């Protein structure tokens, strides 16, 4: 069965600093990988997705993620954090034949400080 592990339930960065949110996946077949963001009292919004077309994926709001098969990782990065980036971030995985089930990680709360 597929799964994702997000290292660090809370990450704190200074405004303007690099954001790095970690995600490792487990799947016996090539996975589809996603990053979602959840702002307080809102639903989840897609940031970006990996579909095997390119290993470096660019998303909205300046975020990007790199798929590394050798490390089974799909870490999310942003060069310069903004106060508005403070939110909960979820990594998710789906595999073909998995009944279209999207399995989420436990989430990482990003805090951005002045």
Nearer to other proteins, 22 or 94 (CB): 94
Per-residue tokens: 74 = 């799909």
45-74: contacts with other proteins (CB under 8 A): 45-46, 49, 51
The residues, any chain, with a CB within 8 Å of residue 33's CB and separated by 6 or more, are 4, 23, 25, 49, 50, 65, 67, 74, 91, 92, 93
CB of 102 to other proteins, least distance (A): 6
Q: How many residues bind other proteins (CB under 8 A)?
A: 28
Q: What is the spatial distance between Cα 91 and Cα 10, in angstroms, rounded to a whole number?
A: 14
Q: What is the spatial distance between Cα 83 and Cα 67, in angstroms, rounded to a whole number?
A: 26
Nearer to other proteins, 15 or 98 (CB): 98
Q: What is the spatial distance between Cα 39 and Cα 101, in angstroms, rounded to a whole number?
A: 23
Q: Which stretch binds other proteins (CB under 8 A): 20-28, 62-70, 73-81, 92-100?
A: 92-100
Indicate which single residue of 1, 41, 83, 114 sits in contact with other proteins (rule: CB under 8 A). 41
Binding site for other proteins (CB under 8 A): 32, 34, 36, 38, 41-46, 49, 51, 88, 90, 94-104, 106-107, 109
């Amino acid at each position: 069965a597929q799964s994702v592990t997000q290292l660090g339930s809370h990450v704190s960065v200074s405004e303007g600093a690099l954001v790095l949110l970690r995600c490792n996946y487990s799947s016996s077949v090539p996975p589809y990988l996603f990053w979602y963001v959840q702002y307080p009292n809102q639903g989840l919004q897609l940031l970006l997705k990996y579909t095997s077309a390119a290993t470096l994926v660019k998303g909205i709001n300046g975020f990007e993620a790199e798929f590394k098969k050798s490390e089974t990782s799909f870490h999310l990065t942003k060069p310069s954090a903004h106060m508005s980036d403070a939110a909960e971030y979820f990594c998710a995985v789906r595999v073909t034949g998995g009944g279209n089930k999207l399995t989420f990680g436990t989430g990482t709360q990003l805090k951005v400080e002045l």
